[in-house]
């Protein structure tokens, strides 16, 4: 706004009434209100509305006793029993249970993966076998580890092959 206020502006009048204008604008609005009956009426209306609204807020609310209704609702809620399946669902689907169960499963999977003992995918191969009247020898080799096992079997006297 430049110079004197030459037109009516309801927002500016409202800001003037609320004390939101700077010194220069406030002075211009005050000068304008002195000569403009429309803006003077607008300011008076704002004062009337504000005082009526303030008086309405200052009145004591009508006393309504809500304690009886509140007790009735609370009693009804207390009487309604939660079904057993809902309690179980609530217990096992709670975040505490889900988080701990997930963490336990992850740790178990990690331990199984890390501590797994390697088991040969194929059976051992018999490299050689020699049988005699008294004993037998079997030579086994495990392909993955290249370990050799010698199996010696001795028969007690009197037993035959």
Q: According to the model, what pLDDT value does residue 1 have? A: 40
pLDDT tens-place string over residues 64-122: 677 888 888 888 777 777 777 777 777 767 777 777 888 899 899 888 887 776 665 55
Residues of the chain with pLDDT > 70, as a percent, come to: 79
Taking only the tens place, the pLDDT of each residue in 32-77 is: 999 999 999 999 999 998 888 877 766 656 666 778 888 888 887 7
Q: Of 6, 10, 71, which Cα lies nearest the Cα of 35? A: 6
* pTM, rounded to two decimals: 0.35
- Say what the pLDDT of residue 62 is: 61
């Amino acid at each position: 706004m430049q110079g004197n206020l030459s037109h009516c502006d309801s927002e500016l009048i409202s800001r003037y009434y609320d004390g939101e204008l700077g010194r220069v604008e406030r002075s211009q609005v005050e000068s304008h209100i002195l000569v403009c009956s429309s803006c003077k009426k607008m300011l008076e209306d704002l004062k009337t509305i504000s005082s009526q609204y303030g008086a309405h807020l200052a009145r004591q609310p009508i006393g309504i006793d809500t304690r009886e209704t509140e007790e009735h609702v609370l009693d009804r809620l207390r009487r309604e029993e939660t079904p057993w399946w809902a309690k179980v669902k609530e217990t096992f689907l709670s975040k505490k249970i889900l988080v701990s169960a997930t963490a336990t499963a992850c740790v178990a999977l990690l331990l199984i993966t890390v501590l797994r003992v390697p088991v040969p995918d194929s059976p051992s191969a018999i490299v050689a076998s020699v049988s005699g009247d008294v004993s037998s020898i079997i030579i086994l080799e495990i392909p993955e580890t290249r370990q050799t096992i010698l199996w010696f079997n001795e028969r007690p006297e009197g037993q035959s092959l």
